[in-house]
Structure 1
Amino acid sequence: MRGNTVFPGLLVMSSISLSLYNRFTQKKEVFSPNNPDRVTMYVCGPTVYGPIHMGNGRSVVVFDVLFRVLRYLFSKVTYVRNITDVDDKINAQAKMLEISISDLTKQTTAQFHQDIEALHVLPVTVEPKATQHIPHMIAVIQALLDKGMAYISQGHVLFDVLKDSCYGALSGAHAEEILAGARVEIAPYKRNPQDFVLWKPVAEDDQEFWSSPWGDGRPGWHTECAAMSREYLGVSFDIHGGGADLLFPHHENENAQSRNAWGVSCPVKHWVHNGMLMIDGQKMSKSLGNVLLLKDALTQYSGSVIRWALLSSHYRHTLDWSASLLHQATQCVESVNRVLELPWDGKLCVDADILAYLCDDLNTPGALNSLHLLAKRALHDPDWVPAVHTCAQFLGIHGASICLTQEARDKIEKLVKEREYARGEKNFQYADELRKELENLGIVLEDNAQGTIWHKRV
């Protein structure tokens, strides 16, 4: 098979190089790990106060693909994705639901795992919880106090931003240019509005708090990741990932703490951020009422369809989530699944073009398009079936029995058109009967201004 190489498994060395866009240098670079025998990656995980939305799901899937590529290229990869189970939002949600914080975080963490497993996300190497690393966070804070980079005020410990001459180098937000009140808290206990909290004192109605040298309280969010990445990956590691919305202030503040606490100029070699997700051209927000939870999307579409849709745009670009995007993803997954249902001898091979796309700053749109073309070819030439199986597995696209015969398609199309006519005639009772008949056939309908899009529930 021209252009294909034997795929020896995920834990293998390869001569091909990986390039990634580094947010710190703002250019695409050849990825060069600190130690090729152990590649290290840290990605910010969920704050477990509720189910994750589709934007969170995009980040998880993007870095899952990167993890798969790294495991193909290098002999050992340590991937750390944390669970933030200490946060003001968690406290507020537990109070509203009138349950304990531990019950809330346990339930929400289980929901998170269930949702991402449906997207065929691989297990990470380590998944540390913030509550299990409070002593490590206290150590970070004490190191910053000892070096004069932090101060104590009214029971709070704060990072002194103006003492850090490199602050803003990652995000481009310079301390003197940050407007008071713009994503920073203005408080009387701060020397400067830009200073951020490392430790906050216990409030009267707090359910959960810990002892520290500065009194009872809990750590600031930015300190959590600095402590946990240090614990599992060392003072300097290869890749730090997360959504673009975390660049400032979270990653900027995390980077500032790590540099100053441990005395390293570059705690992270490559900063990688994925772009935001829009809903029908609008920013996803509670005020607009268009927040789409991953668990809700999974009731209508398979994990493979959602995963395909999430990877259909380059990870650094904004992705517009829409019915037409999901319709296209459904058709592509169905095409691939037709091949995955064909007999296969188990031989594994990866297509060189797909691997090249993935190694070029995770060009998943190019890789998915190549997989789609491979699937069309394999339907006529069985020699290509192993490549489709292997590359679908490599991209996390799993098979499912959603293929339809032409006779079944004709029947569905007839019912859909008949329903559209009934709606046009305002015969809504008959239209509803047709919808139910289609639902019994496992068909999901999406009505929009252009008409009705249908797909098979998988």
Structure 2
Amino acid sequence: MREIRLHDTRTASLRALEPRDPGKVGIYACGPTVYARIHVGNARPYVVFSLLKRFLQHEGYDVTFVANITDVNDKIYAAAQQAGVSSEHLAAEMTAHYVADTDALGLGRPDHEPRVVDSIDGIVGLIQALIDRGAAYAAEGDVYFRVRSDPGYGNLSHRHVDDMNQGEGGDGLHLKEDPLDFALWKAQKPGEDTAWDAPWGRGRPGWHIECSAMAEELLGVGFDIHGGGNDLIFPHHENEAAQTRAGRGAELAQIWMHNGMLQTGPAGGDEKMAKSVGNIALLPEVLAQYGRDALIAFFCSAHYRQPISFGDDALTQAQATVRRLREAARRLEVGAPTPPDMRGLKTRFFAALADDFKTPEALAAVFDWVREANRRADAGERVGDADLREMLSVLALDTVLEIDGADATGPDEEARTLLEARQAARAAKDWAAADRLRDELAARGWTVRDGADGAELVRAG
């Protein structure tokens, strides 16, 4: 296996991936809080860590990818009350939307998608361990973490402990020994309709303890890569790391890997895309407008650690990238190998990914490969598609090469009618109907591929 180096936020340096268990890699990435439909910015970590899994599998690792779903949270209680439904109902509805919306990315599901409501026993157990070790204390049904009890606090976010505001405002301030302490468990308040019994009182977990417990349950302590957006470094990931150190006497993860934010505004601008700001573009709407392949290419066009400007210009350029790959595929000999003297470009592609997962450099190697293949085709040489297919499969872009993927007879009239109905449902933003029609087509053996020129049906399998 080649050496793979990834940027570790805690050490602010590139670190060699040295799996805890030889040949196996565990990845945990923080998923969404399901109080609304996800926007395209929420999709970036899903794409980044799904593609990282593909690369590591290509390199021979057995990868377990965990992405949680936060279905118990203050934001869910507030949104449910505003909508006049139970928090359980809202969370279930938005979880179903999240799964359907990310399914449309065509990347497969994470190996595990734990939910808070199914993880309460482990959360309570970890909180109790923190109390037993003197790192946490109960106060009138709440439980708080003693921040100053952890000498390593601040190592991840590189902040001095006195400069850290937990963002909890005045909530529970009169119960805290120190304003810096943060909630592990919150006593049930009026209007909160989901709660559990615990040794210190009926209530529900705080946000940070949820991920520590779910990650530990599925990957153990000291797993290989913890990921998420860089907006989570503090307080969320700093607190996760502190809780596990204090409760288990060990680091939760070896490498903390963070992706940059999507930015919006004129020509991309520098404002983070966020529901709280109101500058969001919902994932299904972006997929409907630009197509799945273009969105994946867009994400790959920037290094994962850097911010990326979202806008029509960038997505239109991504569509052009996809068209160029499709045009190149038409000149290749399906299934045939690459001429040996072009193999160095594939080596360059994988070397870029091994060096902190540099997808822009990897794409540059792909297009140098395409340029050379076109030159040879112009000269009358035969060039196979095997190496190009191998490279693009790691970036989940090999679907653009399936130019002859449809059945020779094409879709029948009933399938075309279902596709037209699905397009009408998407135009009306009736996502439930669109998902149902997509499933009907899948049952008939057709995969829907959304592109810049509309949707097409491709024979599945």
In the aligned structure 1, how far is the partner of 2:278 from the partner of 2:86? 28
| Helix, strand or coil at the partner of 1:197 | strand
Which among 324, 327, 337 is matched to residue 326 of structure 2?
Answer: 337
Which among 218, 230, 233 is matched to residue 247 of structure 1?
Answer: 233
User: Superposition pairs for residues 227-238 of structure 1, below 5 Å?
Assistant: 227-238=213-224
The alpha carbon displacement at 1:307 in A equals 1.0
In structure 1, what is the equivalent of residue 281 of structure 2?
Answer: 292
The alpha carbon displacement at 1:219 in A equals 0.4
Letter matched to residue 194 of structure 2: E
In the aligned structure 2, how far is the partner of 1:41 from the partner of 1:285? 25
Decide whether aligned partners of structure 1 residues 184 and 348 sit closer, same or farther in structure 2, where only a CA change above 3 A counts: farther
The alpha carbon displacement at 1:221 in A equals 0.7
The alpha carbon displacement at 1:400 in A equals 5.1
In structure 2, what is the equivalent of residue 456 of structure 1?
Answer: 453
| Helix, strand or coil at the partner of 1:299 | helix
Cα shift readout 1:209-242 (whole Å, capped 9, x = no counterpart): 1111011100011001110111111121111000
The alpha carbon displacement at 1:194 in A equals 1.2
In the aligned structure 1, how far is the partner of 2:57 from the partner of 2:247? 31
Confirm or deny that 1:306 pairs with 2:326: no
State which drifts further: 342-351 or 278-287.
342-351
In the aligned structure 2, how far is the partner of 1:44 from the partner of 1:382? 46
- Could you tell me whether the CA contact under 8 Å between 1:339 and 1:375 is conserved in 2? yes
The alpha carbon displacement at 1:141 in A equals 0.3
In the aligned structure 2, how far is the partner of 1:341 from the partner of 1:129? 45
| Helix, strand or coil at the partner of 1:42 | strand
Which among 359, 367, 387 is matched to residue 364 of structure 1?
Answer: 359
- Could you tell me whether the CA contact under 8 Å between 1:339 and 1:388 is conserved in 2? no
In structure 2, what is the equivalent of residue 58 of structure 1?
Answer: 44
Letter matched to residue 82 of structure 1: N
In the aligned structure 2, how far is the partner of 1:394 from the partner of 1:305? 16
User: Superposition pairs for residues 76-91 of structure 1, below 5 Å?
Assistant: 76-91=62-77
State which drifts further: 385-394 or 193-202.
385-394
In the aligned structure 2, how far is the partner of 1:141 from the partner of 1:360? 38
Confirm or deny that 1:32 pairs with 2:14: no
Which among 221, 239, 258 is matched to residue 273 of structure 1?
Answer: 258
Structure 2 unaligned segments of length 5 or more: list them. 404-422, 424-450, 456-461
- Could you tell me whether the CA contact under 8 Å between 1:278 and 1:320 is conserved in 2? yes
In the aligned structure 1, how far is the partner of 2:241 from the partner of 2:371? 47
| Helix, strand or coil at the partner of 2:14 | strand
In the aligned structure 2, how far is the partner of 1:135 from the partner of 1:390? 43
User: Superposition pairs for residues 99-248 of structure 1, below 5 Å?
Assistant: 99-179=85-165, 183-186=167-170, 187-248=173-234
Which among 268, 282, 285 is matched to residue 270 of structure 2?
Answer: 282
Structure 1 unaligned segments of length 5 or more: list them. 1-14, 404-438, 440-453
Decide whether aligned partners of structure 1 residues 402 and 331 sit closer, same or farther in structure 2, where only a CA change above 3 A counts: farther
In the aligned structure 2, how far is the partner of 1:324 from the partner of 1:402? 26
Cα shift readout 1:315-342 (whole Å, capped 9, x = no counterpart): 1111111222112111111111224456
Letter matched to residue 11 of structure 2: T
Decide whether aligned partners of structure 1 residues 123 and 35 sit closer, same or farther in structure 2, where only a CA change above 3 A counts: same
Letter matched to residue 161 of structure 1: V
In the aligned structure 1, how far is the partner of 2:19 from the partner of 2:385? 34
In the aligned structure 1, how far is the partner of 2:164 from the partner of 2:354? 36
Decide whether aligned partners of structure 1 residues 347 and 105 sit closer, same or farther in structure 2, where only a CA change above 3 A counts: farther
In the aligned structure 2, how far is the partner of 1:336 from the partner of 1:184? 49
Decide whether aligned partners of structure 1 residues 61 and 285 sit closer, same or farther in structure 2, where only a CA change above 3 A counts: closer
In the aligned structure 2, how far is the partner of 1:75 from the partner of 1:291? 36
- Could you tell me whether the CA contact under 8 Å between 2:329 and 2:401 is conserved in 1? no
- Could you tell me whether the CA contact under 8 Å between 1:402 and 1:456 is conserved in 2? no
- Could you tell me whether the CA contact under 8 Å between 2:334 and 2:384 is conserved in 1? no
In structure 1, what is the equivalent of residue 392 of structure 2?
Answer: 392
- Could you tell me whether the CA contact under 8 Å between 1:375 and 1:385 is conserved in 2? no
In structure 2, what is the equivalent of residue 353 of structure 1?
Answer: 348
In structure 1, what is the equivalent of residue 368 of structure 2?
Answer: 373
In the aligned structure 2, how far is the partner of 1:230 from the partner of 1:64? 20
TM-score, normalised with respect to structure 2: 0.80
In the aligned structure 2, how far is the partner of 1:288 from the partner of 1:53? 12
TM-score, normalised with respect to structure 1: 0.81
In the aligned structure 2, how far is the partner of 1:139 from the partner of 1:344? 58
In the aligned structure 1, how far is the partner of 2:120 from the partner of 2:337? 45
- Could you tell me whether the CA contact under 8 Å between 1:18 and 1:31 is conserved in 2? yes
The alpha carbon displacement at 1:378 in A equals 3.5
Decide whether aligned partners of structure 1 residues 402 and 390 sit closer, same or farther in structure 2, where only a CA change above 3 A counts: closer
- Could you tell me whether the CA contact under 8 Å between 1:337 and 1:399 is conserved in 2? no
The alpha carbon displacement at 1:457 in A equals 4.0
Decide whether aligned partners of structure 1 residues 288 and 128 sit closer, same or farther in structure 2, where only a CA change above 3 A counts: closer
Cα shift readout 1:144-197 (whole Å, capped 9, x = no counterpart): 000000011121000011111111111112222225xx6243321111111110
Letter matched to residue 336 of structure 1: L
The alpha carbon displacement at 1:289 in A equals 3.8
The alpha carbon displacement at 1:276 in A equals 1.2
In the aligned structure 2, how far is the partner of 1:108 from the partner of 1:395? 28
* Identical-pair percentage: 37
- Could you tell me whether the CA contact under 8 Å between 1:341 and 1:399 is conserved in 2? no
- Could you tell me whether the CA contact under 8 Å between 2:336 and 2:384 is conserved in 1? no
The alpha carbon displacement at 1:343 in A equals 6.7
Letter matched to residue 183 of structure 1: G
How many pairs are equivalent?
393
Cα shift readout 1:52-71 (whole Å, capped 9, x = no counterpart): 11221111111112111111
Cα shift readout 1:233-264 (whole Å, capped 9, x = no counterpart): 11211110000000000000000001111111
In the aligned structure 2, how far is the partner of 1:377 from the partner of 1:129? 48
